[in-house]
Structures are given as C-alpha cells and as structure tokens.
Amino acid sequence: MTGQEDQWWRHAVIYQVYLRSFCDGNGDGHGDIAGLRARLDHVESLGVDAIWVNPWYESPLNDGGYDVADYRSIHPLFGDLGEATALIEESRRRGIRVIADLVPNHTSSEHAWFQAALASPEGSVERSRYHFRPGRGVDGERPPNDWQSVFGGPAWSRVADGDWYLHLYDVTQPDLNWSNQEVREEFLSILEYWLDLGVSGFRVDVAHGKGKHPDYPDVGGVADHLDPAWASGGHPTWDRPEVHEIVREWRGVVDGYPGAILVAEAWVASWDRLARYLRPGEYHQAFDFLFLQSPWDAESMRSRIDEAVEATMSVGATPTWALSNHDVVRHLTRYALPGDVDAGEWLLGGDRGLLDLRRGRRRARAAVLLTMGLPGSVYIYQGEELGLPEVHDLPPQDLEDPVWRRSGHTRKGRDGCRVPIPWTREGSSYGFGTGRSWLPQPPEWGRLSVEAQNTEEHSMLHLYRSAIDLRRRLLGADLTFAWLQTEADALSYRHGEIVSIVNFGSRPLDLPDGEVLLMSAPLEGGRLPVDGAAWIHAPGHVSQVE
C-alpha cells in the first residue's frame, strides 16, 4: 500500500478499550484480554478500523496501569503475551488493528530501575534514570522546588537517605529522566518489541511530558500549564522542546512498520501548541481535548472545530475527535448538566436535581452525528455506543483513582467513567463476567446492555453503527469541509456527500432539502427537534483528493 491508502488513520474510527472494564473472561471480576477476544464480534459490528487498548502491562495498578512495572509483559490480571498476540491476530483477521498504550513519562515505583535507584547511593547511575535531587533548607527537609503533582500535593517525595525524587503524578509514578541516553534507548527497544508482536502503533501517554527544565526552577504563581500564560512555551515540566526531539527519534523505529502510528495525548494551552506535535516527522494524531471539553453550545463547538481543522491542516495532518475517554466525565452526563456547571465539581456532591439524563441522551445522540461527519478520525470510548452515563454515586469505599486520595477527597476522580460495561439484560454483572465486577454497576444498566440495544431499532448502538457505516461509504478519505448557512443556534456543515445539521437552540428547525440519511431523534411536525441532529444526502459533490 502506498500514499492515501496507507494513511488509514486520517479518517479512521478507533474504539478505546479500557480492558479492566470491558469484559471479564475468567470470572475474577476484572476485564481481560480473553474477555475482549470473546467480544470482538461487538467491536467488529461497530465497523471500526482499530482498537486502542489502555495499558495492559505488569503493574501494581495504582493508577489504572499507567504505573508500569515491566513494559514487556502483560499483567496476569489481563492475561499473558500469548493472549495479547492472539488478540492482535484475531483482530487483524477481522480487519481491525490494535494500538497499544505507551507510558514513557514515568514508570511504576515497582519497576526494576526504580528499585535499583532506591538501593543505590545519591549521584549513582541508577538514580540518574530518574530525577533525584537534594532538598532545600538546612537539612534538605524541603522539596527541591515548588512543582505540584497533577493528582494533588507536592511532586517530590523523600527517600530514606534524604534525596528527593520527582513524580508529576502519584508517588508510585516516578518521572523518568529523558536526558539520560539509556532511558531513550530503552524506549526505542520497547517500541520495537511491541511492533514486532504486531501492534499498529501507540497512544502515547502524557506526550506533552518527559522534558524537564535542566535547572529545575520554581514554576511560580501560574502553575497550571494550560493557562494562556504558557501558550508560548517555557513551562519547566510540560510541552517543552525536548518532547519533539524524542518523537522524531521514535519515528525512526515506527516508520519501519507500515501503517503503524503514534497518537499524542497532549494537554497543551492552545491549538497552535498542539499542531506542533503533528508536524511532519512527529505524531500522526493528537486528541483534540478542546473539542472534547466544549460545552453544548453552537458557537463554542463551531470555533473549536474551526481551530482544529485549521491548525491540523496547516501542518498536513487531520483532526482527531473524541467526546469521552477514561479520564473525563462521560459526555452524556456532561451534556445532561446545565452549561455553567463544572461536571467534575458537580460529581463531588453537586445538586443531583440538576442532572437531566434525557437531555444528556438527546444531546449525546446528536453529538454522534456532529462528530462522525467531521473530517478526520474519531475515537469512541467503550460504552458511549451504549449511551452509558457517568456513575456519579459510587460508594467512596469503592473509589480507586489516586486523584480521590491525593486530592484529600476534594476531587472525586475517574472511577465513574470506568465502570464495567453491561452486555446482557440480566446476570450478576450484566454479562460483564460471571460474578461481581470490580466496580459496582447501577441496577438500570441491564436496559442499556448490548443485548437490549441490539433488538431496539432506535438504540444508541444502532445509531453508532449506522453513522460509522454511512461515514465509511460516503465520506471515505474526503476532506472537503464547509460551513453552511443556518440559524444562529444551530450548526450545519457539508463534508463530502453529507450535510450535517445540529439544533443547539430552543425551538425546532427546518431541515435542508434532500434525502434524510440519519436522524438522532424523530422529526417534530416535519422539523428537527431541539437537541436533534440529522444527516442529509448531498450527492453530486465532486470529491476532492486529499
């Protein structure tokens, strides 16, 4: 394959599998690779091009597996290497690629390198793979600087001999030192290892991390690296120039495997900053978190779409859309809350009366047509095709996310979007496994199961399948995109042969002329209802070549 054909990711639909919560193949209450293999029919029925599997490596699971103890082995909870290669093979036979998750900013504190560092003296080669520093104050009793952990609290912890080590996340996630040559070589070898096993690339965790200012300066007043104050770079820990140099080095390996891609999870201050990750020779894709975070509002959605399309295309890349993932409040719940309510804060004990799940569901359905019609690639987070809401009332004793603990219970964390998904109407964990699931599922989830939705003509599941199918048949690799004139509180665009229209306003809208291909909700008196969306066929359009 050459050229466009080989650039499959530019218009792909990719399904995100949070393994632990997808399907439990051995009845221990935790999802695993065997469970995923058993449910590949479901993945295939969606019509997706690839799956991205969250970290499956050996790990104490202090941060859902983003604390890797051994990058070359599979956690026994999830299976083993044989299971992983069988998954890759079976998926390939169905035309589905597997993308692994690479975690290069930090290891687990149980990684052999960190254990060796702890057992070695200050200034040793073993410690130089991480960021060990002396503390401040007379006896070095204060952390080396004011850097804070993303999960809350200081980013430094002290070891027995008095040295401090850096962890921008949990204390069990020490940051690697990327100016160390051995670290760089090790990751080139890890990339090769998984590519040889057949994965089609990597979603790269914290792609904006890795680089650290060599002088470890205080960050000062504006610590939040997403603050516009940092929009031109210069933060001591995030979005630093080194990260670009590193990914260019990785491409030297990845490009040896046709079709393999690198996907950046990069939280940066602006679209201009993100586009830098997509320059030729860097990442193939970068998630658009600005779109993901947009409130349900025509103007905001439109400007974020514009920015993404413009910025990606300015560097020859394509946008990468997602509405949810394992780190954010599920979008159905976000859209069910009033626009001025921060969903993360609301989780902590906000007024439950504010939640209007019917509205959330209407909007989530419309969002399928808004997003799937756009040029570029779309990621689906497992369970969104079932219209799962965030589980906001998990009992505190069940919460596992380190965010909950490290923030001193001032942030609820991400467990509520990671609850195991329902497969059947009945059963102790609705077909997820044979017994209890590691996080409890709400009683009404049987109705949202794959089994229930398979037989419902207008289910969310069918909407996803239809949208993906139409998108594949009518849009292909076409990138022609233009906004169309419509009411102020609506959005309408044309992409290839599809005209998509979404009603964000408060009264029904007239539909444009043409054959209706798909609707998120039934028409009301011939008009598009509030929070509804439709796709109209616009044939005769001459596709432009990418």
Tell me which residues touch ligand NOJ (CB under 6 A): 63-64, 66, 103, 169, 205-206, 265, 326-327
Q: What's the min distance (Å) between Cβ of 91 and ligand NOJ?
A: 22
| Distance, CA of 133 to CA of 542 (rounded, Å) | 61
What residues form DSSP beta bridges with 100?
202
DSSP character string of 186-243: HHHHHHHHHHHHT--EEEETTTT-S---TT-----S---TTSGGGTTS--SSSS-THH
Pairing of strands 377-381, 320-322: parallel
Q: Which is nearer to ligand NOJ, 66 or 165 (CB)?
A: 66
Token reading at 182? 């051995």
Q: Which is nearer to ligand NOJ, 267 or 504 (CB)?
A: 267
Q: Which is nearer to ligand NOJ, 274 or 533 (CB)?
A: 274
Torsion of CA 197, 198, 200, 202, to 10 degrees: -10
Q: For residue 111, how many C-alpha atoms fall within 13 Å in the half-sphere facing its CB?
A: 29
- Amino acid found at 476: G
Q: Which is nearer to ligand NOJ, 275 or 403 (CB)?
A: 403
Q: Which is nearer to ligand NOJ, 104 or 319 (CB)?
A: 104
Q: What's the min distance (Å) between Cβ of 39 and ligand NOJ?
A: 22
Q: What's the min distance (Å) between Cβ of 203 and ligand NOJ?
A: 9
Name the CA radius of gyration of the chain, rounded. Answer: 23
Q: Are 246 and 210 in contact (CB under 8 A)?
A: yes
| Distance, CA of 401 to CA of 404 (rounded, Å) | 6
In 241-255, which positions are buried (b, 16+ CB within 10 angstroms) versus exposed (e)?
eebbebbeebbebbe
| Distance, CA of 132 to CA of 233 (rounded, Å) | 25
Q: Which is nearer to ligand NOJ, 327 or 390 (CB)?
A: 327
Q: What's the min distance (Å) between Cβ of 267 and ligand NOJ?
A: 9
Q: Which of 434, 505, 504, 545 is nearest to 38 (CA)?
A: 434
Q: Which is nearer to ligand NOJ, 263 or 502 (CB)?
A: 263
Chain residue whose CB lies nearest ligand NOJ: 66
| Distance, CA of 543 to CA of 263 (rounded, Å) | 27
Q: What's the min distance (Å) between Cβ of 173 and ligand NOJ?
A: 7
Question: Would you put residue 409 in left (φ > 0), alpha (ψ -120 to 50) or beta?
Answer: left
Describe the crossing of helices 357-372 and 460-470 by its angle, rounded to 10 degrees: 10
Q: What's the min distance (Å) between Cβ of 379 and ligand NOJ?
A: 12
Q: What's the min distance (Å) between Cβ of 209 and ligand NOJ?
A: 8
Q: What's the min distance (Å) between Cβ of 109 and ligand NOJ?
A: 13
Grouping H, G, I as helix, E, B as strand and the rest as coil, residue 447 is helix
Q: What's the min distance (Å) between Cβ of 411 and ligand NOJ?
A: 12
Q: What's the min distance (Å) between Cβ of 49 and ligand NOJ?
A: 21
Q: Which is nearer to ligand NOJ, 326 or 334 (CB)?
A: 326
Q: Which is nearer to ligand NOJ, 205 or 400 (CB)?
A: 205
| Distance, CA of 7 to CA of 318 (rounded, Å) | 11
Q: Which is nearer to ligand NOJ, 290 or 533 (CB)?
A: 290
Question: DSSP class of residue 278?
Answer: G
| Distance, CA of 418 to CA of 438 (rounded, Å) | 10
